[in-house]
């Protein structure tokens, strides 16, 4: 085995390990939080793994993998941009007051009286 083959296989193997590690981290975090969890670190780790697999593909001249790597990198970059927190500018009034729905005081009475008129539980 030549050194270039060893280097290619090492890069490809390392890339696969990093990709599986990122997937494992995602599954563990999602199970722990009991919801879909994807942190920027997981996505970045997947991007690094994808880059190593790309190095392997270039060294081995595997055109199928070379053609697919840009798509994987674009998906990873898009995921990375989606996992970044979005900061919205707010006025001081919005920071103090929580956004709650406005409820008219008589709307509950109107609904309650329509239930009583329809013969619901509240009918006498």
What DSSP string runs through 51-116? HHHHHHHHHHT-HHHHHHHHHHHHHHHHHHHHHSPPP----HHHHHS-------TTHHHHHHHHHH
pLDDT of residue 53: 92
| Measured distance CA(102)–CA(72) in Å, rounded | 46
pLDDT of residue 105: 62
- Residue-by-residue pLDDT tens, the chain, 124 positions: 788 888 888 999 999 999 999 999 989 988 998 888 888 888 899 999 999 999 999 998 988 888 888 898 898 888 888 877 666 666 665 555 556 666 666 655 556 566 666 665 544 5
């Amino acid at each position: 085995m030549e050194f270039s083959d060893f280097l290619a296989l090492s890069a490809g193997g390392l890339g696969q390990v990093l990709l599986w590690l990122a997937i494992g981290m995602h599954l563990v975090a999602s199970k722990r939080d009991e919801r879909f969890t994807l942190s920027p670190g997981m996505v970045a780790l997947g991007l690094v793994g994808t880059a190593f697999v790309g190095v392997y593909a270039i060294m081995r001249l595997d055109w199928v993998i070379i053609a697919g790597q840009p798509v994987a990198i674009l998906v990873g970059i898009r995921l990375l941009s989606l996992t970044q927190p979005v900061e919205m500018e707010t006025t001081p009034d919005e920071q103090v007051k929580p956004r709650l729905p406005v409820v008219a005081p008589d709307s509950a009475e109107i609904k309650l009286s329509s239930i009583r008129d329809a013969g619901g539980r509240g009918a006498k």
